[in-house]
A and B are shown apart, each in its own frame.
Chain A
Amino acid sequence: DAGVTQSPTHLIKTRGQQVTLRCSPISGHKSVSWYQQVLGQGPQFIFQYYEKEERGRGNFPDRFSARQFPNYSSELNVNALLLGDSALYLCASSWGVTISGNTIYFGEGSWLTVV
């Protein structure tokens, strides 16, 4: 079975531009979460979606938005990019949102560099 797939794997953007990152969860998983990982730090929670509804939002500015589609895939959008947005963006999927079903599995990530 395919794991969590993300695209693109690497991208370079200029300050002020917008970026869209895409994610397909593990087959059968209905929840998708997005994390930002800056070098030397652990992943920071951005969003969680379950059954197309936002279930959680981390401490990120409104420039960050996301959505989940009927097939459970998801997009993360970041507007007005800043140099500090340079990071590894991780998508994670889980079966559900119950305690027993919320183990998250990460994709390979999208490396974003803002210049």
Chain B
Amino acid sequence: QKEVEQNSGPLSVPEGAIASLNCTYSDRGSQSFFWYRQYSGKSPELIMSIYSNGDKEDGRFTAQLNKASQYVSLLIRDSQPSDSATYLCAVNTNAGKSTFGDGTTLTVKP
């Protein structure tokens, strides 16, 4: 079992819809959680960080964390074609080392 697992994807949604990206992790000691966006041929770009159970909203993005279920998700509202990218979930189990999932590729169709 991988330490961080994401939907295998690819995920395709129409423009304006809500895209839901999911991630589970295996280490219950994990304390910080991140979502990165990676466009093809580019490096990952930080979108959101979340540390406590519940929801955290930033513009069209909402991160949700449930430590009891070892689950973190990212919702993208009003999806735009420019949101088409690979989304990486990262988990810090001890300070400094981030463990990444393999990513979910999102395509937003106009």
Whether the pair B43, A56 counts as a contact (CB closer than 8 A) is no
Q: How far is the CA of A2 from the CA of B43 in the complex (A)?
A: 16
Which of B53-110 touch A at CB < 8 Å?
88, 90, 92, 94-103
- Chain B residue total in the interface (Cβ 8 A): 25
Q: How far is the CA of A1 from the CA of B94 in the complex (A)?
A: 28
Q: Which residue of B lies closest to A92 (CB)?
A: B98
Number of contacts between A and B (CB, 8 Å)?
66
Which of A84-115 touch B at CB < 8 Å?
88, 90, 92, 94, 96-100, 102-109
Q: Which residue of A33, A42, A105 contacts B46 across the interface (Cβ within 8 Å)?
A: A105
Q: Which residue of A lies closest to B98 (CB)?
A: A104
Whether the pair B102, A45 counts as a contact (CB closer than 8 A) is no
Q: How far is the CA of A56 from the CA of B92 in the complex (A)?
A: 12
What 1/0 mask marks residues of chain A from 27 to 65 whose CB sits below 8 Å from any chain B CB?
A: 000010101000011111100101000011010000000
Interface residues of B (CB under 8 A from A): 4, 31-32, 34, 36, 42-46, 49, 51, 88, 90, 92, 94-103
In the assembled complex, 27 residue pairs joining A and B whose CB atoms fall closer than 8 Å, in A order, are A31-B96, A33-B96, A33-B98, A41-B102, A42-B4, A42-B88, A42-B100, A42-B101, A45-B97, A45-B98, A48-B97, A55-B96, A88-B43, A94-B96, A96-B95, A99-B32, A99-B95, A102-B92, A102-B95, A103-B49, A104-B46, A104-B98, A105-B46, A106-B36, A106-B43, A107-B43, A109-B43
Further 10 A-B residue pairs, CB within 8 A, beyond A45-B99, A56-B94? A42-B88, A42-B100, A43-B88, A48-B96, A88-B43, A99-B32, A100-B51, A102-B32, A102-B92, A104-B98
